[in-house]
Amino acid sequence: MNGVFKKFKFDQNSIIVDDDFKFWPHIYILYSSNKESIKCYVGQTNNINQRIINHINDRNKDFKEVITYTNKLFNISFTYEIESGLIELMSSHDKLLLSNQKSGNSHNFFEKNKTPYFMEEIWKHLDKLGLVKNSLKTIKNSLFYQINPLKPLTNHQNNIIEEIKNSIKSNKLNSYLIKGQSGTGKTLCATALFYSFCNDNELNKLKIAYTSGNTQFRDDLYRTIKNKSFYFNSKNIMSPSQIIKDYVKNNYEKYDYIIVDESQRLKKREALSNYDVFDKNSNILGLNKMETNELEWLMRVSKNQIIFYDDNQTIKNSDLNINEEIEKCNFIKYNLVDELRMENADEYLNLLKNILFKEKNKIDRDKLVKYNFKVFKSFTDMYNMINLMNKQHNYSFLLSGLGFPKNNFKNTTGYSSKKKQVLEKEDFNIDGINLYWNVITQNWVDSEKNCDLKLNINEVGCVHVIQGKTLNYAAVIISEEIDYINKKLVIYKDRYNDRVMKNNYDEKIFLKYILNIYYVLLTRGVKGTFIYIKNVGLRKKIEEIFKKYNISDLII
């Protein structure tokens, strides 16, 4: 059933409410606009007339217009859920400045599955009025939506965040380590804390910084939120080197807190592409350059730290083993355990960890098949499938391990007008299909322009542009650097295209990093993951494993 919309001026004499709906659950949006942006506030109530009057009498509310929405199918649970969803969506929209300071109240209830229908109806109406310009699909695929601090947290996540905040407010100043595997919400918790430090009246007086060991993700995050000054101070997002520079500039004044996301990607002095900056910063802090690391730098220039870590996502020799460092310190520790990124994927993840890390999880076939997971015998078939998924869902791309050559220059800042010249020759070819490594490194996933071009030029994303990001579907190529021969995994060093890694080769460590890279690649797809295995020996081994679990029909 279609809902009922009303629009009126934000004054007491203009309120329009049908008598039939006077005490019915409502969603309402207060807003005022100028040429550059639209300021708005989202709420819900079961007494719409009185609630709007209360807002009008609030001198802090300087809105011009009101939109109300109700539906005869509504109950109060629906309006709480829709309010929460609208806060999340509208705060992620480039054009809107949302006055809401907290997330809504999302919970489970009977017929919750009808909520998307109401959300779609409201969004179409807002689009018709010119209040929004991006589709729901576009917003939900954006980086800011995925790390939005107004996104509802799970009870477990929220408890951790509140414990840390309350401890800081009561002057119990401690350092914290939050561990969690891929998809458990580490970055969401990190940005929620960052948001609190920027906006909470008791916390925003502290000197803080936010950094991430994942350089590419940190840079993409900065570009994403620099226009969201309504929520964040983007100047506080810095690299470890920038933090050191700021520390020196401010007469060696220590930070109260540094939030460190993806800390496993912080660097030590090994297999670096440039040692000069590392050595310079080490010398500034009076540390032995051969023994120190970026985490020690951050601990030296701050009173306390909040560190997020996943040891299954170290992918290079230069990455840091945080466990060794943390054991020396008195950190309060938490674990994030619930996988939240991927839909119905718990059993898929158990299977993945059994294969990659030799865990012994029991596999329930009925649960496994709820996630869209397939191994393709033909690359052409997988290529056609991922292109279909991209047309239907967007943000569905090819990814690969680093076992194929690079033949083209990569533009780090954007798709160049000289694109054709840059891509004179394919990087590699499978089944007669020419493929190219990601042509850009900055914001590869999130640019709408990039998304259109990827499909046309057959781009394949590497781990460095996808770690920390989310896709709807991922089609992963297990590339030529890894095989299974004579009952063991074999690494072909000469086929691996990371020069720095190859120059610092240790077979055991190298294998660990390669398996971690595939763990990252194989955990990007929210709705599904497709796999093609290039080398025959490894392909046959996977067939044996699938036969053991009675899932051979997932190989197609």
**In the block, which residue shows the tokens 């998304």?**
451
Domain edges within the chain: 4-133, 155-336, 345-554
The CA distance from 294 to 309, in Å, is 14
- Render pLDDT for 193-226 as a digit per residue (tens, 0 to 9): 999 999 999 999 999 999 999 988 898 888 888 7
Over residues 461-474, mean pLDDT: 93
How much is the pLDDT for 477? Answer: 98
- Check: pTM over 0.75? Answer yes or no: yes
How much is the pLDDT for 230? Answer: 67
The DSSP secondary structure of 40-89, one letter per residue, reads EEEEEES-HHHHHHHHHT-TT----EEEEEE-TT--HHHHHHHHHHHHHH
Burial of 442 (0-12, 13-18, 19+ CB in 10 A): middle
Structure tokens at 461: 């994303």
- Render pLDDT for 408-450 as a digit per residue (tens, 0 to 9): 655 544 444 334 445 567 899 999 999 999 888 777 887 554 5
Over residues 48-57, mean pLDDT: 94
**In the block, which residue shows the tokens 């980086």?**
143
- Render pLDDT for 369-396 as a digit per residue (tens, 0 to 9): 999 999 999 999 999 999 999 999 989 9
Question: What value does the mean pLDDT of the chain take?
Answer: 89
How much is the pLDDT for 418? Answer: 38
CATH architecture of 155-336: 3-Layer(aba) Sandwich (3.40)
How much is the pLDDT for 193? Answer: 95
Instruction: Give the pairing type, strands 38-45 and 26-33.
Output: antiparallel
Structure tokens at 499: 């020069």
Over residues 488-500, mean pLDDT: 85
- Render pLDDT for 517-545 as a digit per residue (tens, 0 to 9): 999 999 999 999 999 999 999 999 999 99
Over residues 27-46, mean pLDDT: 92
- Render pLDDT for 303-345 as a digit per residue (tens, 0 to 9): 999 999 998 888 888 898 877 667 667 899 999 988 888 999 9
Q: In what order do the strands lie in the sheet with 302-309?
A: 208-212, 255-261, 302-309, 175-180, 331-336
Polymer length in residues for the chain: 556
How much is the pLDDT for 121? Answer: 95
**Signed CA dihedral, 119, 125, 130, 135: sign only:** positive
Burial of 311 (0-12, 13-18, 19+ CB in 10 A): middle
